[in-house]
Structure 1
Amino acid sequence: MTTSVVSIVYVNDAPAAARFYGDLLGMSPSFETSGYITFDLGPGADLGLWSGQFEDLSPDVPRTSEICLAIDGGPDELNAIFEQWNAKGVKMLREPHDAGFGLTFLAADPDGNRIRVAPKG
Protein backbone atom coordinates (compact mmCIF):
# COMPACT_ATOMS: atom_id res chain seq x y z
CA MET A 1 0.00 0.00 0.00
CA THR A 2 1.25 3.47 -0.89
CA THR A 3 0.72 6.04 1.80
CA SER A 4 1.14 9.77 1.97
CA VAL A 5 0.79 12.05 4.95
CA VAL A 6 -1.11 15.24 4.17
CA SER A 7 -0.92 17.99 6.78
CA ILE A 8 -4.08 20.06 6.33
CA VAL A 9 -4.14 23.70 7.40
CA TYR A 10 -7.48 25.50 7.60
CA VAL A 11 -7.35 28.95 6.00
CA ASN A 12 -9.83 31.70 5.11
CA ASP A 13 -8.76 31.96 1.46
CA ALA A 14 -6.96 28.98 -0.11
CA PRO A 15 -5.57 30.86 -3.16
CA ALA A 16 -4.21 33.67 -0.94
CA ALA A 17 -2.72 31.13 1.48
CA ALA A 18 -1.17 29.26 -1.46
CA ARG A 19 0.54 32.45 -2.63
CA PHE A 20 1.89 32.99 0.90
CA TYR A 21 3.17 29.42 1.30
CA GLY A 22 4.40 29.24 -2.30
CA ASP A 23 6.51 32.34 -1.71
CA LEU A 24 7.93 31.00 1.57
CA LEU A 25 8.62 27.50 0.24
CA GLY A 26 9.77 28.60 -3.21
CA MET A 27 7.40 26.17 -4.93
CA SER A 28 4.15 25.96 -6.83
CA PRO A 29 1.06 23.98 -5.83
CA SER A 30 0.79 20.40 -7.06
CA PHE A 31 -3.04 20.39 -6.99
CA GLU A 32 -5.53 23.28 -7.02
CA THR A 33 -9.24 23.82 -6.67
CA SER A 34 -10.90 27.02 -5.48
CA GLY A 35 -11.03 25.82 -1.87
CA TYR A 36 -8.30 23.17 -1.57
CA ILE A 37 -4.68 23.47 -2.69
CA THR A 38 -1.76 21.15 -2.01
CA PHE A 39 2.00 21.35 -2.18
CA ASP A 40 4.05 18.19 -2.78
CA LEU A 41 6.76 18.39 -0.13
CA GLY A 42 8.55 15.21 -1.19
CA PRO A 43 7.97 11.48 -1.10
CA GLY A 44 5.00 10.77 1.13
CA ALA A 45 4.40 14.32 2.39
CA ASP A 46 2.01 17.04 1.26
CA LEU A 47 0.75 20.32 2.67
CA GLY A 48 -2.95 20.96 2.10
CA LEU A 49 -4.58 24.38 2.42
CA TRP A 50 -8.35 24.08 2.87
CA SER A 51 -10.79 26.97 3.02
CA GLY A 52 -14.52 27.00 3.61
CA GLN A 53 -14.45 24.66 6.59
CA PHE A 54 -14.76 27.44 9.16
CA GLU A 55 -16.01 31.00 8.82
CA ASP A 56 -13.68 33.87 9.60
CA LEU A 57 -10.69 32.09 11.07
CA SER A 58 -9.00 34.54 13.38
CA PRO A 59 -5.24 34.83 13.91
CA ASP A 60 -6.05 35.69 17.54
CA VAL A 61 -7.35 32.21 18.37
CA PRO A 62 -4.65 30.16 20.16
CA ARG A 63 -3.25 27.31 18.06
CA THR A 64 -2.23 23.95 19.52
CA SER A 65 -0.41 22.56 16.49
CA GLU A 66 2.33 23.67 14.12
CA ILE A 67 3.64 23.02 10.67
CA CYS A 68 7.34 22.28 11.07
CA LEU A 69 9.74 22.85 8.22
CA ALA A 70 12.77 20.71 9.02
CA ILE A 71 15.89 22.01 7.29
CA ASP A 72 19.14 20.20 6.53
CA GLY A 73 21.35 23.23 7.16
CA GLY A 74 22.69 24.44 10.46
CA PRO A 75 22.21 27.63 12.45
CA ASP A 76 23.47 29.88 9.64
CA GLU A 77 20.80 28.58 7.24
CA LEU A 78 18.08 28.86 9.88
CA ASN A 79 19.07 32.45 10.68
CA ALA A 80 19.12 33.28 6.96
CA ILE A 81 15.58 31.91 6.55
CA PHE A 82 14.47 33.92 9.59
CA GLU A 83 15.92 37.10 8.06
CA GLN A 84 14.35 36.40 4.63
CA TRP A 85 10.92 35.77 6.11
CA ASN A 86 11.20 38.77 8.43
CA ALA A 87 12.07 40.98 5.42
CA LYS A 88 8.94 39.67 3.66
CA GLY A 89 6.83 40.82 6.59
CA VAL A 90 5.98 37.36 7.93
CA LYS A 91 4.64 37.63 11.48
CA MET A 92 7.26 36.26 13.85
CA LEU A 93 6.01 34.71 17.08
CA ARG A 94 9.44 33.81 18.49
CA GLU A 95 12.91 34.69 17.28
CA PRO A 96 15.62 32.05 16.82
CA HIS A 97 16.35 30.28 20.11
CA ASP A 98 17.66 26.93 21.34
CA ALA A 99 14.78 24.58 22.13
CA GLY A 100 16.80 21.55 23.23
CA PHE A 101 16.69 19.94 19.77
CA GLY A 102 18.57 22.79 18.14
CA LEU A 103 18.04 26.34 16.98
CA THR A 104 14.45 27.08 15.95
CA PHE A 105 12.05 29.95 15.33
CA LEU A 106 8.29 30.29 15.17
CA ALA A 107 6.25 32.30 12.67
CA ALA A 108 2.57 32.55 11.73
CA ASP A 109 0.70 32.61 8.44
CA PRO A 110 -1.94 35.33 7.83
CA ASP A 111 -4.63 33.09 9.39
CA GLY A 112 -2.59 32.58 12.57
CA ASN A 113 -1.40 29.04 11.85
CA ARG A 114 2.01 28.41 13.40
CA ILE A 115 5.03 27.62 11.25
CA ARG A 116 8.19 26.36 12.98
CA VAL A 117 11.57 26.15 11.26
CA ALA A 118 13.89 23.67 12.94
CA PRO A 119 16.81 21.38 12.15
CA LYS A 120 16.09 18.04 10.54
CA GLY A 121 16.99 15.05 12.59
Structure 2
Amino acid sequence: MTRPNMFIVHVSDAPAAARFYGDLFAMEPAFEAPRFIAFGLGGGVQLALWSGATENPAGPRTTAEVCLNLPDAPASVDACHAEWTAKGVTIVEEPHDAVFGRTFVAADSDGNLIRVAPFD
Protein backbone atom coordinates (compact mmCIF):
# COMPACT_ATOMS: atom_id res chain seq x y z
CA MET A 1 0.00 0.00 0.00
CA THR A 2 1.32 3.44 -0.84
CA ARG A 3 1.27 6.21 1.76
CA PRO A 4 1.86 9.95 1.60
CA ASN A 5 5.51 10.74 2.21
CA MET A 6 5.71 14.48 1.57
CA PHE A 7 3.73 17.39 2.93
CA ILE A 8 4.04 20.59 0.88
CA VAL A 9 3.52 24.02 2.41
CA HIS A 10 2.95 26.81 -0.12
CA VAL A 11 5.04 29.88 0.68
CA SER A 12 5.91 33.14 -1.06
CA ASP A 13 9.68 32.89 -0.42
CA ALA A 14 11.06 29.35 -0.03
CA PRO A 15 14.52 30.33 1.31
CA ALA A 16 13.01 32.67 3.93
CA ALA A 17 10.45 30.03 4.90
CA ALA A 18 13.22 27.41 5.14
CA ARG A 19 15.14 29.63 7.56
CA PHE A 20 11.97 30.06 9.65
CA TYR A 21 11.06 26.34 9.75
CA GLY A 22 14.71 25.29 10.13
CA ASP A 23 15.08 27.52 13.17
CA LEU A 24 11.68 26.62 14.60
CA PHE A 25 12.23 22.85 14.41
CA ALA A 26 16.07 22.83 14.64
CA MET A 27 16.57 21.04 11.32
CA GLU A 28 18.56 21.46 8.10
CA PRO A 29 17.21 21.06 4.55
CA ALA A 30 17.67 17.63 2.95
CA PHE A 31 17.03 19.00 -0.57
CA GLU A 32 17.24 22.50 -2.02
CA ALA A 33 16.24 23.77 -5.46
CA PRO A 34 15.06 27.19 -6.61
CA ARG A 35 11.67 27.80 -4.96
CA PHE A 36 11.53 24.28 -3.41
CA ILE A 37 13.23 23.18 -0.17
CA ALA A 38 12.54 19.92 1.67
CA PHE A 39 13.36 18.75 5.19
CA GLY A 40 13.63 15.08 6.16
CA LEU A 41 11.33 14.23 9.04
CA GLY A 42 12.40 10.60 9.43
CA GLY A 43 10.95 7.39 8.10
CA GLY A 44 11.14 8.67 4.52
CA VAL A 45 8.70 11.51 5.22
CA GLN A 46 9.49 15.08 4.18
CA LEU A 47 8.17 18.58 4.82
CA ALA A 48 8.61 20.69 1.69
CA LEU A 49 8.33 24.45 1.22
CA TRP A 50 7.34 25.50 -2.30
CA SER A 51 7.10 29.00 -3.70
CA GLY A 52 6.35 27.76 -7.25
CA ALA A 53 2.60 27.53 -6.68
CA THR A 54 2.18 30.96 -8.27
CA GLU A 55 3.13 29.37 -11.60
CA ASN A 56 -0.48 28.15 -11.74
CA PRO A 57 -2.53 30.91 -10.04
CA ALA A 58 -5.81 29.30 -11.12
CA GLY A 59 -4.97 26.12 -9.23
CA PRO A 60 -6.71 25.19 -5.99
CA ARG A 61 -5.56 26.72 -2.70
CA THR A 62 -6.11 24.67 0.40
CA THR A 63 -5.71 25.21 4.11
CA ALA A 64 -3.99 22.72 6.38
CA GLU A 65 -1.87 22.68 9.51
CA VAL A 66 1.60 21.38 10.19
CA CYS A 67 1.37 19.76 13.61
CA LEU A 68 4.12 19.23 16.17
CA ASN A 69 3.08 16.63 18.74
CA LEU A 70 4.96 16.83 22.04
CA PRO A 71 5.30 14.37 24.92
CA ASP A 72 4.83 15.46 28.53
CA ALA A 73 1.97 17.84 27.83
CA PRO A 74 0.61 20.17 29.04
CA ALA A 75 3.91 21.50 30.39
CA SER A 76 5.81 20.89 27.14
CA VAL A 77 3.14 22.70 25.08
CA ASP A 78 3.31 25.75 27.34
CA ALA A 79 7.13 25.66 27.28
CA CYS A 80 7.13 25.53 23.46
CA HIS A 81 4.71 28.48 23.37
CA ALA A 82 7.03 30.50 25.61
CA GLU A 83 10.06 29.61 23.45
CA TRP A 84 8.34 30.49 20.17
CA THR A 85 6.90 33.72 21.60
CA ALA A 86 10.43 34.73 22.68
CA LYS A 87 11.59 34.09 19.08
CA GLY A 88 8.89 36.45 17.79
CA VAL A 89 6.77 33.74 16.15
CA THR A 90 3.23 34.90 15.37
CA ILE A 91 0.76 33.14 17.67
CA VAL A 92 -2.75 33.01 16.22
CA GLU A 93 -4.37 30.86 18.91
CA GLU A 94 -3.10 31.11 22.48
CA PRO A 95 -2.56 27.95 24.55
CA HIS A 96 -5.80 26.38 25.70
CA ASP A 97 -7.25 22.99 26.57
CA ALA A 98 -9.04 21.31 23.65
CA VAL A 99 -10.75 17.92 23.53
CA PHE A 100 -7.39 16.30 22.67
CA GLY A 101 -5.36 18.24 25.27
CA ARG A 102 -3.31 21.42 25.60
CA THR A 103 -2.67 23.17 22.27
CA PHE A 104 -1.79 26.43 20.53
CA VAL A 105 -1.44 27.57 16.92
CA ALA A 106 1.29 29.69 15.34
CA ALA A 107 1.66 30.97 11.78
CA ASP A 108 4.51 31.50 9.36
CA SER A 109 4.86 34.73 7.37
CA ASP A 110 2.47 33.39 4.70
CA GLY A 111 -0.21 32.58 7.26
CA ASN A 112 0.32 28.81 7.14
CA LEU A 113 -0.72 27.29 10.45
CA ILE A 114 1.52 25.33 12.81
CA ARG A 115 -0.27 23.57 15.67
CA VAL A 116 1.48 22.31 18.79
CA ALA A 117 -0.40 19.59 20.62
CA PRO A 118 0.19 16.52 22.80
CA PHE A 119 0.72 13.04 21.41
CA ASP A 120 -2.65 11.29 21.10
TM-score category by the smaller chain?
Answer: 0.7 to 0.9
TM-score (structure 1 length as normaliser) = 0.86
The answer to whether residue 31 in structure 2 is matched with residue 43 in structure 1 is no
Match of 1:25? Answer: 25
* Cα distance between partner residues in 1 of 2:105 and 2:25: 15
- The one-letter code matched in structure 1 to 2:46 is D
Match of 2:106? Answer: 107
- C-alpha RMSD over aligned residues: 1.7
* Cα distance between partner residues in 2 of 1:64 and 1:37: 20
* Cα distance between partner residues in 2 of 1:101 and 1:95: 15
TM-score (structure 2 length as normaliser) = 0.87
Query: Which stretch of structure 1 is more off in the superposition, 17-26 or 4-13?
Result: 4-13
5+ residue gaps, structure 2: 56-61
Show structure 1 runs of 4+ deviating over 4 A.
1-4
Q: Secondary structure at the match of 2:111?
A: coil
* Cα distance between partner residues in 2 of 1:49 and 1:15: 9
5+ residue gaps, structure 1: 56-62
Superposition pairs of residues 1-121 of structure 1, within 5 angstroms: 3-54=3-54, 64-121=63-120
Report the count of equivalent residues. 114
Deviations 1:11-60 (A, max 9, x none): 011110000000000110111112111111111421100012127xxxxx
Say whether the 8 Å CA contact 1:3–1:44 is kept in structure 2.
no
